Structure 1
Amino acid sequence: MSEIIRRDPRAEWIARNRLHPLHAALQSQNQTVWIGPNGIVRKNPHAIAAGFIGPAGIKRIDRSGAQQGTGTRRSASVEVQLPLHVVEQPAYYVAVVPDMVGGRLSSHDKDLLGLARRLAGSEGAVLAVVFGEHKESAFDSAGVDRLLLLDGEQYQGYAPEQRVLALRAVDNQFAPRHWLLPDSRTGGGELGRRLAASLGERPATRVWQAEGERCVGRAGAGQQDIQRPLARLILAAAECAEPVSETRHEARPVELAWQVARNLPRIEDLGPVAVDPAQIPMAEAEFILSGGNGVKDWELFHRAASALGATEGASRVAVDDGHMPRSRQVGATGTWVTARVYLAVGISGAIQHLQGIGACDKVVAVNLDPGCDMIKRADLSVIGDSSAILQALIERVAAWRQEGRRDAA
């Protein structure tokens, strides 16, 4: 029998393509070192045996040698215990006021906490100030050392003046070295500017980089950078820093030493105004129902989007086939979206589409193929016919609303 090593180019390509359905089958779970076709020793740096799964789901290489020669390997399902960072007596504080859209930390908020962690260093503590009730359970892994919850009906809805009074009380008690707020349209930008006026500070706005004693902000419609000394009050843009991913923090609850005075409101909040989801730009939508080649009844798809109150999106295949306008295409060749919930119906998951939804918080996939890439990406998957599932969704939503009307009556 010939000892010549024969190569299979197709198998090698599948082994390199992690999104291919057969990729996992061609990976040898026990092979971390092998002889290549030219006699060179090859090592697999992505093998879990050579490292561990990081907190963000990324494989980390262990260069300490602690896991070598033990004969054991970690699996992706094993939770890695991150080192706990404790600051008992902070030398100073860096205060962060996240937007908490939907009661949870957004990607922008986590970037902001990453910047705060960098500014706090080893001697400072990151103080997060959160208004109202929240649903977040990962303040510790986001880099929060101290957590101050300010709850009460006076902070509900649109109450910027009352919130500024509370932040002034925080400033008097904790004297933060820096204030960090997201320069966003969901409240942080306005609140930060109101706080700056109240404190008499000149804020640094649209900051995307802060190093040493300098910070850099965007200007001129994003075409120009402005450098200035590091300000005490910073309104930071998205992706201003890497989120905290390698340490846990206490998120120790703290309280204000005195009661915040009630503000005589000059602004009356009349509550939210219903907005047609079809008029919301996809880049700003919080809930997107997206259809692909697997959708056979587009009229039913539109009725489902209306019943769910979702903004409609589509894959490139659906757009090319004329089912949806080009402005509704999601992906690297269309619109990059940052929805809190992205419901993909009949979308197999091309690499360009997966890139476009990379910043979405929760992805729900409906598909007949349990091995498609969208199912692998999804946080929740439903295997079944799209028409039947959309019809069931419409019926459940109608029943839920009818039950709510009976309870209100």
Structure 2
Amino acid sequence: MSNLFRRDPRAQWIARNRLHPLHVPEGLLVQRGPSGLLRKNVHTIGFIGPNGVKRIDRSGTADSYKQLSRQTAQSGKSAAQEEILLPLHKVAHPDFYILVVVDGVSGRLSSHDRDTLGSAHKLATQPALMEKSAIGAVVAVFFDAISEEKLDTAGIDRLVNFEGNEYQHYNPDQRCADVYRLVNQLNPKHILFPDSIHGGADLGRRLAAKLSTTVASNVWKVNNNQIVCRGSAGKTDIARPITNIMLVLEECCEPVSDTRHECAPLVIQNAPDLQSATLEQQRKHAPEHILESTRQQKIEDLGNVSVNPNDINLAEAGFILSGGNGITDWDQFHHAASLLGATEGASRVAVDDGFMPRVRQVGATGTWVTANVYVAVGISGAIQHMQGIAKCNKVIAINTDDSCDMVKRADLSAIGDSSAILAALLDLVHEQKSALKGNQKDDQKNKNATSDTSVLTPYQATPTNVLEAHHA
């Protein structure tokens, strides 16, 4: 056997390509130096926690995140299928509360919500912001139903969920009244809202007005007893003392990633029935401005407006039908997207070939999407495309290759010709709509039924409605 040590061109190419799935795991390999000695890269050991402190697991019972990534890459499984047992952060008797009112769009935690929860966890655990023996708990407030599955890894110690028909539409007065009642019960030390267009910024300002206190907006850094806010369209930083109500920006803090939390439901006081109570009883249980908003709603929600899905920004679309090199009939693809009410997307190959405009490209070189449902038709799954759909909730793949990366990533896969599968899907939708239209007269008698797709426009119908009605 030769004593010469030969270089591995593939390993060197992976080390240079930061987009390669094995780039980070390969960095952990023990490499042989120019002198022939084995050398370890000590800088890749451990992981950075949400407080910015590097942590190293020396117990030998659990691998680090990067070591797990390498094991996952070698076994061919996705990282989402691997479960890491994180230490449990439990607060039995908190001395104070940090209240976080999340946006919770579609019942899920966005990246902005997780960053806000990370800031709250920092306020609850940072020694410089509290007394030596004080222990704080993070309380997360959700409105409407929760569809998020991993709340324990988001940094939530206590959970409050307001459910009801009044939260299914735009009703800021009701939400502000509920948060106001919760604040009076818990007396939190700080109240955090995501400074976003999904209701957090508006609700935070409404609550500050009802509490007659100041609110800090565009907060992007919390340091001891001082906060830093963005000013002049993000060109300047404004330092000010910390306030009770803060509207924090995205990426204000690292989300919680190194601990699990008990996420225990918090018992809240029942709201008095202000509609049937007398005026004296109402004044006894609630302030006058809360009674005014309860008796007289200032905003009337007229419901959702039917729009063309292609007019929705690709980054904000909830249902995307994306086509790639496997599409042979683009007219059929456009018809399917229109009938299903999906926003059209495309792979880089389809855009380069001229089948779709550049604004429809999905991926790291196009648009990063966060759809609830992402249907990939004829897309094998390039690295940059897989990065662009990493935050999608459910991925459905239609492909002829059952071993491609998109099928491995997908939650549901259909193996076969894309034209035949789309044709069968269109036939199913037409058949279901015809059956539902025949029963439309009977369904109109029950005005409370909202799951009937026959009264939905083509832009409002979704595959979930059609499949649920098909299996009923």
Instruction: Tell me the TM-score range normalised by the shorter chain.
Output: 0.7 to 0.9
Q: In the alignment, is residue 196 of structure 1 matched against residue 208 of structure 2? A: yes
Read off the aligned partner of 1:121 and give its amino acid letter: T
Q: Deviations over 1:172-231 (max 9, x none)?
A: 100111111122222222212211211122222232222222223334344443332222
SS of equivalent residue, structure 2 residue 184: helix
Q: Please say if residues 5 and 36 of structure 2, whose CA atoms lie closer than 8 Å, have aligned partners that are also in contact.
A: no
2-structure distance, mates of 1:38, 1:378: 45
Given that residues 107 and 359 in structure 1 are in contact (C-alpha distance below 8 angstroms), is that contact kept between their aligned partners in structure 2? no
Q: Work out whether residues 293 and 347 of structure 1, in 8 Å CA contact, stay in contact via their aligned partners in 2.
A: yes
Q: Deviations over 1:136-193 (max 9, x none)?
A: 3322221111112222333331111111111111111001111111222222222122
Contact 2:19–2:384 (CA under 8 A) maintained in structure 1: no
Identify the structure with the greater helix proportion: 2
**Residue deviations 1:20-71, cap 9 Å, x none?**
79x79xx99xx96575675221458899xx999x99xxxx996415259xxx
* TM-score, length of structure 1 as denominator length: 0.83
Question: Separation in 1 of the partners of 2:239 and 2:430?
Answer: 54
Match of 1:64, as an amino acid? R
Q: Deviations over 1:383-408 (max 9, x none)?
A: 33222232233333444445555372
Counterparts of 1:224 and 1:372 in 2: how far apart (Å)? 47
Q: TM-score, normalised by structure 2?
A: 0.73
Matches of 2:433 and 2:116, distance apart in 1: 37
Amino acid of the structure 2 residue aligned with 1:256? I
Distance, in Å, in 1 between the alignment partners of 2:191 and 2:82 is: 37
- 1:372 partnered with 2:404: yes
- 1:121 alignment counterpart: 125
Distance 1:193 1:387 in 2: 51
2:163 equivalent to 1:159: no
User: Is 1:104 equivalent to 2:108 in the alignment?
Assistant: yes
Query: Residue 414 of structure 2 aligns to a residue in which SS?
Result: strand
User: Which range is displaced more, 210-219 or 95-104?
Assistant: 210-219
Aligned to 2:196: 184
Query: 368-377 or 183-192: which moved more?
Result: 368-377
CA distance in 1, matches of 2:434, 2:55: 54
Rounded Cα–Cα distance in structure 2 between residues aligned with 1:61 and 1:254: 31
Cα shift readout 1:122-145 (whole Å, capped 9, x = no counterpart) = 711111122222223322221111
* Mapped partners of 1:316, 1:398: distance in 2: 31
Alignment of 1:269-348 (within 5 A): 269-348=301-380
Any gaps of 5 or more consecutive residues in structure 2? Answer: 73-80, 127-134, 276-293, 445-472
Relative to structure 1, the CA distance from residue 84 to residue 316 in structure 2 (aligned partners, 3 Å threshold; closer, same or farther) is same
* SS of alignment partner, residue 315 of structure 2: helix
Matched, 1:39 2:39: no
Structure 1: runs of 5+ lacking an equivalent: none
1:20 & 1:86 partners in 2: Cα distance? 38
For residue 283 of structure 1, give the secondary structure of its aligned residue in structure 2.
Answer: coil
Match 1:89 to one of 90, 93, 98 = 93
For residues 239 and 415 of structure 2, the distance between their equivalents in structure 1, rounded to whole angstroms, comes to 52
Distance 1:404 1:16 in 2: 57
The equivalent of 1:147 in structure 2 is 159
Letter in 2 for 1:66: G
Percent sequence identity is 54
Q: Identify the range of structure 1 (260-269 vs 117-126) with the bigger mean alpha-carbon deviation.
A: 260-269
Query: Which region of structure 1 is more displaced relative to structure 2, 232-241 or 360-369?
Result: 360-369
Matched, 1:4 2:11: no
**Partner-residue secondary structure (3-state), 2:250:** coil
Corresponding residue for 2:60? 66
Q: Which moved more, 1:209-218 or 1:393-402?
A: 393-402
Of the candidates 140, 144, 148, which is equivalent to residue 136 of structure 1? 148
